[in-house]
Amino acid sequence: MKLKELVKKLKGFECDALKDKVVVHRFVTNNGYGYKEVVEDVYFDARSGEFVIVTGKEESSNWGNDAELRLEDRK
């Protein structure tokens, strides 16, 4: 994903109801265990040409897709 796409998606969720919500990175291991990490910082690595998201310690997490709010691109 490019920065422009990420910023567009994040701006789509910009509202009073969500402005103080925590941002996390979720992932599932090869064994099927779910984890999340709280996003703590972001920076640009000029050597690699990549934005880097810094997260805290991973913690076990279970989630379902039934309550996700997603933005749809209108073309």
pLDDT in tens, 49-74: 999 999 999 999 988 777 788 888 77
pLDDT in tens, 7-54: 999 999 999 999 999 999 999 999 999 999 999 999 999 999 999 999
- Domain of 27, in residue numbers: 3-63
The per-residue b/e assignment along 39-64, b for 16 or more CB within 10 angstroms, e otherwise, is: eeeeeeeeeeeeeeeeeeebeeeeee
Would you say residue 75 has pLDDT above 70? no
Instruction: Provide the number of structural domains found in the chain.
Output: 1
Residue 13 domain-assigned (yes or no): yes
